[in-house]
Amino acid sequence: MVKQYSLEEGVLLKVEDLVVKFYTYAGVVHAVSGVSFYVKEGETIALVGETGCGKTVTTRAITRLIESPGRIESGVALFRRRDGSIVDLLRVDEDVLRKIRGDEIAYVFQDPTSALDPLYTIGFHIYETMKAHRPAITKKVAFKKAIELLRQVLIPSPETRVKNYPHEMSGGMRQRSVIAISLSNLPRLLIADEPTTNLDVTIQAQILDLLKRLQVENKIGMILITHNLGIVAENADRVYIMYAGKIVEEGVTEQIFYNPQHPYTKLLLRAVPDPTKRVEKLEAIPGTIPSLIDPPPGCKFHPRCPFATEKCTREEPPFFNVEPQHRAACWLLERR
Amino acid sequence: MGMGSFLARRVLTFIPTLIGVLLITYLIAYAIPADPVRAWVGEKLMNPQTLEQIKIKYKFNAPWYEQFSFLVHQLLTGELEDPVRHRNVFTEITSRFGVTVEVAIIGFIFLVAIGMPLGLLAAIFKDTPLDFAVRIMALVGSSLPSFVLYYFLILLLFVYTRTTYLAGIPEPTLACRTYVSSLPEFIPVLGHVASALGNVPMFAAMMCGELSVVGETFKRLYLPGLALGLLNGGFIARIVRNSLLDAFSAEFILYGKARGLRRISLWKHAFKNALVPLITVLGLNLGGLLSGAIIAETVFNIPGIGRYMYEAIMRLNFPVIIACTFLVAIVYVTINLVVDILYAVVDPRIRY
Amino acid sequence: MEMLYKALKRAIWLYASFRERLSPGWITKNSSRIKEWELMAYAYSKSPIGVVGGAIVFIMFILAVIGPFIAWEPYWEYKIVTLGEEYRYRAPCLPPGCSGEPILGTDEWGRDLLAMSLYGIRISFVISIVVVLLGAPLGIILGLLAGYKGGVVDEVIMRVTDVFLAFPGLVLAIAFASVLPQRIRGFLESNSIARAFFAALFGLRETEYGQIAALLSIWFAMVLVWWPGYTRVVRGSVLSVREMPFIEAAKLAGLSTWRILIKHILPNVISPVIVMMTFDIATATLFAAALSFLGLGPQEPVPELGFLISKAGQFFPERSAHVVLYLGALLLIMALGWNLLGDALRDILDPRTRRAIEYRLEKEKKR
Other beta carbons within 10 Å of B79: 11
The shortest C-alpha distance from C215 to chain B (Å) reads: 15
Residue B212 is predicted with a pLDDT of 80
Percent of chain C past pLDDT 70, that is, above it, reads 92
Residue A282 is predicted with a pLDDT of 72
Residue A104 is predicted with a pLDDT of 93
- Backbone region of residue C299 per phi and psi (left: phi > 0; alpha: psi in -120 to 50; beta: other values): beta
C221-274 pLDDT, tens digit each: 899 989 998 998 888 888 877 777 888 888 888 777 777 777 777 877 888 888
| Mean pLDDT of the region A201-212 | 81
DSSP per-residue string spanning C19-57: HHHHSTTHHHHTHHHHHHHHHHHHHHHT-HHHHHHHHHH
Which residue of C164, C171, C287, C314 to mutate against B (max B Cβ within 10 Å)?
A: C171
Per DSSP bridges, beta strands A246-252 and A238-243 are antiparallel
The shortest C-alpha distance from B187 to chain C (Å) reads: 31
CB contact under 8 Å between B313 and C294, yes or no, is yes
The shortest C-alpha distance from C324 to chain B (Å) reads: 7
The shortest C-alpha distance from A99 to chain B (Å) reads: 6
Answer yes or no: is pLDDT of C367 > 60: no
Nearest alpha-carbon partner for A99 in A115, A83, A75, A76: A83
| Mean pLDDT of the region C75-92 | 72
Answer yes or no: is pLDDT of C82 > 60: yes
Residue B80 is predicted with a pLDDT of 64
Closest-approach residue (CA) in chain B for C321: B155
DSSP per-residue string spanning A166-204: GGGS-HHHHHHHHHHHHHTT--SEEEEESTTTTS-HHHH
Closest-approach residue (CA) in chain C for A27: C359
User: Any CB–CB contact under 8 A between A67 and chain B?
Assistant: yes
Q: Domains plus CATH for chain C?
A: 70-340 (1.10.3720.10)
**Residue C266, SS3 per DSSP:** helix
Residue A276 is predicted with a pLDDT of 78
C279-305 pLDDT, tens digit each: 999 999 999 999 999 888 888 788 889
CB A74 within 8 A of CB A32: no
| Mean pLDDT of the region C95-117 | 75
Closest-approach residue (CA) in chain A for C353: A25
Rounded to 5 degrees, what are φ and ψ at A242?
-110, 145
Closest-approach residue (CA) in chain B for C286: B145
Of the partner residues B1, B257, B269, the one whose CB lies closest to the CB of residue A101:
B257
ipTM score over 0.95, yes or no: no
Which residue of C155, C165, C172, C174 to mutate against B (max B Cβ within 10 Å)?
A: C174
User: Which run of H or of E encompasses A325?
Assistant: none
DSSP annotation of C313 reads: G
| Mean pLDDT of the region B210-215 | 79
User: Which run of H or of E encompasses A322?
Assistant: strand A320-323
For C80-100, b/e burial (b = at least 16 CB within 10 A) is beeeeeebbbbebeeeeeeee
Contacts of C359 in chain A (CB under 8 A): 25-27
| Mean pLDDT of the region C179-192 | 81
Contacts of A60 in chain B (CB under 8 A): 258
The shortest C-alpha distance from C360 to chain A (Å) reads: 7
Answer yes or no: is pLDDT of B182 > 80: no
Q: Domains plus CATH for chain A?
A: 11-104+187-275+282-335 (3.40.50.300)
Answer yes or no: is pLDDT of A314 > 80: yes
Q: Partners for B (CB, 8 Å, 3+ pairs)?
A: A, C
Answer yes or no: is pLDDT of C30 > 90: no
Answer yes or no: is pLDDT of B1 > 60: no
Question: Which residues on neighbouring strands pair with residue A32, listed in sequence order?
Answer: A20
User: Any CB–CB contact under 8 A between C352 and chain B?
Assistant: no
Contacts of B276 in chain A (CB under 8 A): 119
Rounded to 5 degrees, what are φ and ψ at A193?
-95, 105
Residue C63: C-alpha distances to residues B274, C203, C338 (Å): 43, 12, 15
Tell me how far apart the alpha carbons of residues C115 and C47 are, in angstroms, rounded to a whole number. 33
Other beta carbons within 10 Å of C54: 20
Per DSSP bridges, beta strands A246-252 and A11-24 are unpaired
Of the partner residues B259, B276, B348, the one whose CB lies closest to the CB of residue A165:
B348
Contacts of A109 in chain B (CB under 8 A): 251, 255, 258
pLDDT band at residue A202 under the 50/70/90 scheme:
confident
Kindly report which listed range (A220-234, C66-80, C95-109) carries the lowest average pLDDT score. C95-109
Percent of chain A past pLDDT 90, that is, above it, reads 38
Q: Which of A171-180, B78-87, B170-179, C175-184 has the highest mean pLDDT?
A: A171-180
| Mean pLDDT of the region B292-310 | 83
CB contact under 8 Å between C171 and B144, yes or no, is no
pLDDT band at residue B40 under the 50/70/90 scheme:
low
Per DSSP bridges, beta strands A27-40 and A11-24 are antiparallel
Closest-approach residue (CA) in chain A for B263: A98
Residue with more model confidence, B323 or A232: A232
Cβ–Cβ pairs < 8 A, chains B and C: 165
The shortest C-alpha distance from A107 to chain C (Å) reads: 30
CB A267 within 8 A of CB A330: no
3-state secondary structure A64-113: CCCCCCEEEEEEEEEEECCCCCEEECCCCCHHHHHHHECCCEEEECCCHH
Tell me how far apart the alpha carbons of residues C302 and C107 are, in angstroms, rounded to a whole number. 12
**Residue A51, SS3 per DSSP:** coil
Tell me how far apart the alpha carbons of residues C95 and C100 are, in angstroms, rounded to a whole number. 9
For B195-219, b/e burial (b = at least 16 CB within 10 A) is bbbbbbbbbbbbbbebeebbebbee
| Mean pLDDT of the region A22-39 | 88
Residue with more model confidence, C156 or C363: C156
User: Any CB–CB contact under 8 A between C360 and chain A?
Assistant: yes
Q: Which of residues 314-333 of B touch C (CB under 8 A)?
A: 314, 316, 318, 321-322, 324-325, 328-329, 332-333
CB contact under 8 Å between A107 and B260, yes or no, is no
Tell me how far apart the alpha carbons of residues B218 and B64 are, in angstroms, rounded to a whole number. 47
Contacts of B250 in chain A (CB under 8 A): 114, 117
Q: Which of residues 300-359 of C touch A (CB under 8 A)?
A: 356, 359
pLDDT band at residue C86 under the 50/70/90 scheme:
low
Q: Partners for A (CB, 8 Å, 3+ pairs)?
A: B, C
Residue with more model confidence, A60 or B308: A60
Residue C126 is predicted with a pLDDT of 92
Residue C282 is predicted with a pLDDT of 93
A271-309 pLDDT, tens digit each: 777 777 777 777 777 777 777 887 778 888 888 888 888
Note the pTM of the prediction, 2 decimals.
Answer: 0.81
For B18-47, b/e burial (b = at least 16 CB within 10 A) is bebbbbbbbebbbebbeebbbbbbbeeebe
